[in-house]
Amino acid sequence: MGIPVLYKDLGLMDYQEAWDYQEILFHDIKNVKFRNFELPQCEALSKMNFLIFCEHPHVYTIGKSGKDDNLLINENQLKEKGASIYHSNRGGDITYHGPGQIIGYPILDLEDFGHGIRSYIDNLEQAIINLLAEYGIHGERLDGATGVWLDTTIAGKTRKICAMGVRASRHVVMHGFALNANTNLDYFNYINPCGFTDKGVTSLQKELGKEMDVEEVKQKLKYHIAKVFDMDLDLDE
């Protein structure tokens, strides 16, 4: 029997709205955890972990270690592209989110899963790598960078297919990953993705030469995340 995790698919949701929703769940988990420190075990409050999937309208987000000059267009050009920008409290630099991209926000107490932050990221990357293998794509880790990459040893060919950025406090995490499925990759041309100027970005659609069934990809991705973390996923109807 795995660790209970509530799965929610929020569909297409504004970035700020999704961020606010995450913050509520994140602080609820932390508050219950802290209260349980003071209660006898027989009176412990129940605590739920969450796995959230969604998509966002065109948006750029800059993490805590990000630099504004990695955005290569001005405010007027952003409006022309129908995009917005946010400074996020996740780790990492700048990235793009948009339709056709699967956003995953695991909101978890890592102590429930026996993980620290580094092993958590490793396992999240492994779930994506395992998913890609189902489609015949060899995903890899890149030294000095988070996320999942392709062709890491071939100069000029290295490209990212899944970005990651996490916020952690007292072993509770939020934010997560962005997997490019049918993503419009043109939007990455207006930033230095994750701060890199010498590496590219790709998607399942580009690598496989066909439009992906995003719902199918989500189902496979859910399976691999649950398997790697020993989750028992409950569907929130």
Which sequence positions are flagged as catalytic?
194
The CA distance from 136 to 68, in Å, is 36
CB atoms closer than 10 angstroms to residue 220: 15
State the sign of the Cα–Cα–Cα–Cα dihedral 222, 227, 230, 235.
positive
Amino acid identity at 138: H
- As beta bridge partners, residue 103 has 54, 178
Those residues whose C-beta lies under 8 Å from the C-beta of residue 224, and which sit 6 or more positions away, are 127, 128, 130, 131
Residue 118 has a CB neighbour count (10 Å cut-off) of 8
Please give the Cα distance from 164 to 176 (Å, whole number).
6
**Rounded to the nearest 5 degrees, what angle is found at the Cα of 56, between the Cα atoms of 64 and 178?**
60
